[in-house]
DNA sequence: CTCCTGGACGGTAACGTTTCCAAAGTTTAC
DNA sequence: GTAAACTTTGGAAACGTTACCGTCCAGGAG
């Protein structure tokens, strides 16, 4: 039933092969147009101060030779930082990161900037190496979704940095993030309002963001006069769906199982849902309520549509990119900013399951 | 209930500010270490032919000054192509593209290559501009998920190109793709096997891949002796979930509604499922069977878990990146290759709904 | 003791662009 | 009619690196 094994064929059409000929330079263009090097440069950059007739001769030469400016050489000149931004983040397969990447790509593209993705391992040392690499490439600015670990080595880099989603230690720089504490509070309040008092919260390991979400959770509980059972605050060893699934299964098998769960990350939400699908609730006890953090595709299509606390992730990426571009161009010289985007509760059903009896 | 408005504060901690001081160069290092420029260069690149004592003096100077090689200047030297690959693709929010990006990023990173993402508009002209831009940045190679439109302008670029997921017109270059026709055949055969004969197929507009999938569909029907009702071959105006949802709703309201649907793209599958959720099937007729192309997260969590034809997208990205790296380093000088990865049927339920009665 | 070999190092010429300065040509003002 | 000002153009220097070519010194052979 599976398809044939991976197959490899030489392609056999008769299109032009890729030729390895060297690319023409401005000097070639200058010779061809019978003008000086400086004139070509002027034409290429807007062409102010060049007679129309000369300019069109140069343009003709450019077209004939298929010349294209060598951005690398251009970026070598002092003051001319390369027109690329670096983006350092985790797993692109996570829609959260993918959305940030897409949004910043759009904004950067509008200004003619490319985006360089550093390869991002998970360990702090790998992140540091990747960042150093990118700085070596003379990017005009860095957008970083930082891991834990010290980032003070960025202080002397002479490149503007914007942190996304969470602050970094050891350096004062711009930061764009969502209101994690407010979102955690929102989710928890909502569950409390449905009558739940045993609300478990699942946390990815030691991330700044989930810490703030936990804080919102605690605040909401305290405000409602509900004491937090610390055994329901679950610090996972990993931020994966699998870890959340395992933890949820264990939670729900306890005699004093929670009646509601707050999954503080989209992958964790997935794990929680997987576990709940299998767990048969004790007789007389209904399906536990679930609220997730960060919206995800198909959330409204599941058997019980999933209630989430969400923020505008694309806006997060756009804001960060815009801010970084302004910093890079020295348009924005304010002191480092801290921009916090609001969260919002999206009710779909799973969070509105009332406490049974 | 929504959180407070977006809030902006200057950050007020007391970390080192980012200083704008110029970065040290090899010349600075040479002076500091009391050696010549060439020696520093030798040390930086492996250090063959330098006495240990000298080398360590240079390394000390590098550390003290925080020197880091300027990749831009390095890439300017002839023969030294920059160590970045370009990746040109569509919407990163689509897990298909995100997976390719992640996989190629990993492979490239292992070889010390960065990946530059060009800003990708949807129109062919925008794609062309983006590619030209990237070539100007002297990338060592291009991975392109091409739009329709002519790509012959790449022939003279002097940069290796690998096309991903679909071939491009007007140029002979490497291509890595999945077995679209085989996958389409697999999906259709499976539905035929459940007894379905009125199988609708939804197609995104004029993409090469969906065309091949349609071909597999036709082949399977013909082989089974089932005549294709052309009104069940739905060419959508857009490749979005919304377009698929609308089309499905219309299909299912017809008196001769299909009993099965083949959604030839992951976004289309989503649209189909959304529509089916709402459509009340005519009395006596069961829920229509659905097979999607490309797996997606949560597919197994839906009320009726979704059967899909899937291939290893990460492997697609890895293969493309590896091939491109080999081309860029001239390790691989074979004629252009066509690599086809197999597809596989993943049965989950929605494709195994038999024809009612 | 001299010559030669070879390793270690220093200096310099590119790479392709931008930017600045000076030269040439053209117009304007007196 | 000449000077001044402005516009257009050509040329050279610089950016930070690598590659190549000498030079210098140590040590071995004759």
pLDDT tens-digit map of A13-24: 444 444 445 788
Q: Distance from residue A195 (CA) to nucleotide D23 (C1'), in Å? A: 88
B78 touches strand C (CB under 7 A): yes
Alpha-carbon gap: B234 to the closest alpha carbon of chain A (Å): 23
Residue with tokens 């989503």: B270
User: Which nucleotides of strand D come closer than 7 angstroms to any CB of the protein?
Assistant: 7-21
A162 pairs with which residues across the strands?
A: A143, A174
Share of chain B above pLDDT 70, in %: 91
Lowest mean pLDDT segment, chosen from A245-249, A285-289, A306-310, B266-270: A285-289
pLDDT of residue B10: 54
- List of chain B residues whose C-beta atoms are within 8 Å of the C-beta of residue A80: none
A39: the nucleotide nearest its CA (via C1') is D9
% of chain A beyond a pLDDT of 90: 65
CB contact under 8 A, B339 and A120: no
**Helices and strands in chain B: count of H runs, count of E runs:** 11, 13
For tokens 């083949």, the residue is B262
pLDDT at B283: 45
Mean pLDDT over residues A167-182, rounded?
94
Chain B residues closer than 8 Å to A102 by CB: 91-93
Res A316: pLDDT: 98
* pLDDT, position A20: 47
**pLDDT score of B89:** 92
Q: What pLDDT band is residue A195 in, cutting at 50, 70 and 90?
A: very high
Phi first, then psi: what are they for B157, rounded to 5°? Answer: -75, -20
Neighbours of B94 (CB within 10 A): 20
> Any idea which nucleotide's C1' is nearest the CA of B36?
C10
CA distance B274 to B47: 62
Q: Which of A254, A95, A217, A6 is nearest to B296 (CA)?
A: A95
pLDDT digits (tens, 9 = 90+) for B73-112: 998 887 777 889 999 998 899 999 999 999 999 999 988 8
B354 in contact with A, Cβ within 8 Å: no
Copy the structure tokens of residue B70.
């300027």
Instruction: Nearest by CB to B3, from A70, A118, A343: name it.
Output: A343
C-alpha distances in Å from residue B279, one per residue of A296, B240, B249, B285, B303: 24, 19, 7, 12, 15
Per-residue model confidence (pLDDT) at position B291: 98
* More confident of the two residues A2 and B289: B289
Cβ contacts of B154 on chain A, cutoff 8 Å: 18
A95 in reach of chain B (CB within 8 A): yes
Q: For residue B252, is pLDDT > 50?
A: yes
Encode pLDDT of A19-44 as tens digits.
445 788 999 999 999 999 999 999 99
Closest to A71 (Cβ–Cβ): which among B92, B136, B296?
Answer: B136
pLDDT attached to residue B130: 87
pLDDT value, residue A50: 87
A130 contacts in chain B (CB < 8 Å): 109
Least confident among A103-117, A275-289, B317-331: A275-289
Q: How far apart are CA B158 and CA A209, in angstroms?
A: 46
- Phi, psi dihedrals of residue B309, rounded to the nearest 5°: -100, 125
pLDDT in tens, A125-160: 888 888 988 998 989 999 999 988 888 888 777 889
The first and second tokens of residue B225, run together, are 């002796």
- Residue B149: pLDDT above 70? yes
**Res B285: pLDDT:** 54
Token digits of residue B128:
């062309």
Q: Which residues of B touch A132 (CB under 8 A)?
A: 68
Separation in Å, CA of B137 to nearest CA in chain A:
5
CB of A279 within 8 A of CB of A290? no
Q: Which helix (H) or strand (E) holds B55?
A: helix B52-65
Average pLDDT of every residue of chain A: 89
Q: Estimate in Å the CA A60 to C1' C23 gap, whole number.
A: 27
Coil, helix or strand at residue A49: coil
- Residue B123 binned pLDDT confidence (cut-offs 50, 70, 90): confident
**CB of A78 nearer than 7 A to strand D:** yes
Of A105, A161, A171, the CB nearest to B16: A171
pLDDT tens by residue, A70-129? 989 998 887 777 889 999 998 899 999 999 999 999 999 888 899 999 877 667 788 888
Cβ contact B302–A297 (<8 Å): no
With a cut of 90, say whether residue B319 has pLDDT above it.
yes
- HEC letters along B100-142: HHHHHHHHHHHCCCEEEECCCCCCHHHHHHHHHHHHHCCCCEE
To the nearest whole number, what is the mean pLDDT of chain B?
89
């Amino acid at each position: 039933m599976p398809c044939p094994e991976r197959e490899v064929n030489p392609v056999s059409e008769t299109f032009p092969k890729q030729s390895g000929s060297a690319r023409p330079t401005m000097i070639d263009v200058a010779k061809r147009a019978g003008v000086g090097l400086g004139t070509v440069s002027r034409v290429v950059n807007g062409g102010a101060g060049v007679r129309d007739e000369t300019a069109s001769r140069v343009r003709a030469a450019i077209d004939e030779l298929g010349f294209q400016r060598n951005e690398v050489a251009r970026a070598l000149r002092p003051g001319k930082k390369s027109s690329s931004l670096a983006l350092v983040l985790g797993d692109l397969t996570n829609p959260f990161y993918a959305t940030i990447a897409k949004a910043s790509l759009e904004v950067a593209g509008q200004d003619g900037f490319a985006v360089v993705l550093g390869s991002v391992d998970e360990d702090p040392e790998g992140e540091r190496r990747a960042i150093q690499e990118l700085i070596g490439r003379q990017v005009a600015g860095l957008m970083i979704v930082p891991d834990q670990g010290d980032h003070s080595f960025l202080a002397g880099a002479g490149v503007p940095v914007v942190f996304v989603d969470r602050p970094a230690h050891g350096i004062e720089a711009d930061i764009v993030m969502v209101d994690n504490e407010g979102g955690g509070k929102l989710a928890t309040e909502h569950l409390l309002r449905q009558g739940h008092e045993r609300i478990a919260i699942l946390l990815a390991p030691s991330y700044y963001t989930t810490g703030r979400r936990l804080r919102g959770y605690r605040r909401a509980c305290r405000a409602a006069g509900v004491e937090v059972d610390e055994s329901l605050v679950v610090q996972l060893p990993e931020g994966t769906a699998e870890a959340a699934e395992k933890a949820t299964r264990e939670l729900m098998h306890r005699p004093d199982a929670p009646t509601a769960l707050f999954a503080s990350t989209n992958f964790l939400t997935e794990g929680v849902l997987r576990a709940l699908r299998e767990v048969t609730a004790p007789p007389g006890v209904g399906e536990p309520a679930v609220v997730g953090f960060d919206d995800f595709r198909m959330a409204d299509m599941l058997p019980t549509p999933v209630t989430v606390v969400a923020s505008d992730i694309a806006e997060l990426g756009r804001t960060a990119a815009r801010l970084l571009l302004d910093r890079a161009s020295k348009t924005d010289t304010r002191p480092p900013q801290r921009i916090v985007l609001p969260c919002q509760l999206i009710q779909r059903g799973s969070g509105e399951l009332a406490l049974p009896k």
